[in-house]
Amino acid sequence: MSRLGLVVLLALLPHAARADSQPLPAMGADLTQVSVSGISSGGFMAAQLATAYSATFMGVGVIAAGPYYCAGTYPSIDYLQNATTTCMSPASPAVTANATASWANAIRFERKGLIDPVSNLARQHVYVFSGSNDNIVKTMVVNEVPKYYSLAGARPGNIIYDNQTDAGHSIVTDNPSDLACPDNQSPYINDCGFKQSQVLLAHIYGPNVQAPADTPSQAILRFNQGEFVQGTRTSMDSDAYAYIPSVCQRTACAIHVAFHGCKQGATVIGKRFYSGTGYNEFADTNKLIILYPQVHKSKGIPPNPKGCWDFWGYSSEDQQHKDFYTKNAPQMKAIMAMLKRLGQPRPALASSDSQ
Q: How far is CA 229 from the centre of its chain?
A: 16
Minimal CA–CA distance to 219: which of 271, 256, 152, 167?
Answer: 271
d(CA 68, CA 48): 5
Distances in whole angstroms, Cα of residue 79 to Cα of each of 72, 186, 273, 323, 324: 6, 25, 28, 11, 10
Residue 243's beta-bridge partner residues?
A: 290
Residue 89 annotated in active site: no
Minimal CA–CA distance to 196: which of 169, 158, 222, 233?
Answer: 169
* Cβ neighbours of residue 214 closer than 8 Å, sequence gap 6 or more: 281
Q: Determine phi and psi for 4, rounding to 5 degrees.
A: -60, -45
Distances in whole angstroms, Cα of residue 208 to Cα of each of 92, 202, 204, 211: 42, 8, 11, 10
Residue 284 annotated in active site: no
Q: State the catalytic residue, choosing from 37, 54, 116, 169.
A: 169
Residue 134 annotated in active site: yes
Cβ-in-10-Å burial (0-12, 13-18, 19+) of 207 comes to exposed
Q: What order do you get walking across the sheet with 125-129 strand by strand?
A: 159-162, 125-129, 57-63, 34-39, 254-259, 288-292, 239-243, 221-224
d(CA 205, CA 306): 32
Q: What does the buried/exposed string (b/e) look like for 8-28 if buried means 16 or more CB atoms within 10 Å of the residue's CB? A: eeeeeebbebeeebeebbebb
Cβ-in-10-Å burial (0-12, 13-18, 19+) of 111 comes to exposed
Q: State the catalytic residue, choosing from 21, 40, 130, 197.
A: 40
Q: State the catalytic residue, choosing from 30, 116, 134, 191.
A: 134
Hey, which residues are catalytic here? 40, 134, 169
